[in-house]
Amino acid sequence: MIEVISKGTAVVTGASTGVGACYAEQLADRGYDVIMISRNRARMNTLASQLTDKTGRSFEVIQADLSLQADVQNVESLLRTDSSITMLVNNAGIGATALTANADAHQISQVIAVNLAALTRFTVAVAPAFAARGNGTIIQVASVASAHPECRSGMCEAIAAYVLAYSKSVHQDFADQGIRLQVVLPQSRYRRITDLTGYEVSTGPRSTATATEDMVRTALAGFDRGEFVSMASPRYC
């Protein structure tokens, strides 16, 4: 195994599967230790064990439901106080596809809490800490969904638009303080996100696992080139 110089610790939300799991693996390959955050502890434990053996990096598992205030506050505290953290990947998401015309207020609140509020609160928590140290990276993962029929409710487009607009504002506020920021807008078929019950939403055939790995690799390559927005797809690049 080739020894890689440590780049600090990357926190990845929604890290138990799909895009988040790919970020955990590829960031470890790049020299980061990883803190994985998700509701599914068992899946994270299995993945962490495999990736520790594969990469030689340190993996920590934190079980958190980001629709719950107490769990969000615990993650916020970690981001504010752990000086080893040099990167945040805001990837966690509940499938907005579940919001049909019959969705109730509780369902809507859960999607907003995880997809928008948690992302915003974690960014607010970590950005000043990065600025105080003069370096840090924030990667916001949303989606490109306007062409996909499963997002007829408009929530996917609205979430992506918010993440992009909010991230532009953060980028303007902190660009001269050593913080790098990237917004990743993959097509929905690359994402494996959970529905309101915690089960995965199927966004494509099993073979898309390889496509997801390639998408994350493309996004990170774009980050290396200084891209602020990565469509992370050959169709759009």
Residue 235 resides in a domain: no
**Range of lowest pLDDT (66-75, 130-139, 150-159):** 150-159
CA 86 to chain centre: 15
State the pLDDT at residue 168: 96
- Position with higher pLDDT, 214 vs 154: 214
Asked if residue 196 is part of any domain, the answer here is yes
Residue 158 covered by a domain: yes
In a domain, 159, yes or no: yes
**Within a domain: 237:** no
Q: 151: domain CATH number?
A: 3.40.50.720
| 148: in domain | yes
- Residue 6, token pair as written in the block: 């440590």
3-state SS string over 149-215? Answer: HHHCCCHHHHHHHHHHHHHHHHHHHHHHHCEEEEEECCEHHHCCCECCCCCECCCCCCCHHHHHHHH
Task: Report which residue type is found at 2.
Answer: I
The domain total for the chain is 1
Contact status, residue 12 vs residue 36, Cβ threshold 8 Å = yes
- pLDDT of 198 higher than 70: no
- In a domain, residue 18? The reply is yes
Give the pair of three-digit tokens for residue 207: 């073979």
Q: Is residue 236 part of a domain?
A: no
pTM of the model: 0.86
pLDDT (tens digit, 9 = 90+) per residue, 80-107?
A: 999 999 999 999 988 765 555 666 788 8
pLDDT tens-digit readout, 176-195: 999 999 999 886 544 444 44
Structure tokens at 129: 């800490």
Q: Residue 168's CB: how many other CB atoms inside 10 A?
A: 14
Structural domain including 45 reads: 9-230
By percentage, how much of the chain surpasses pLDDT 90?
65
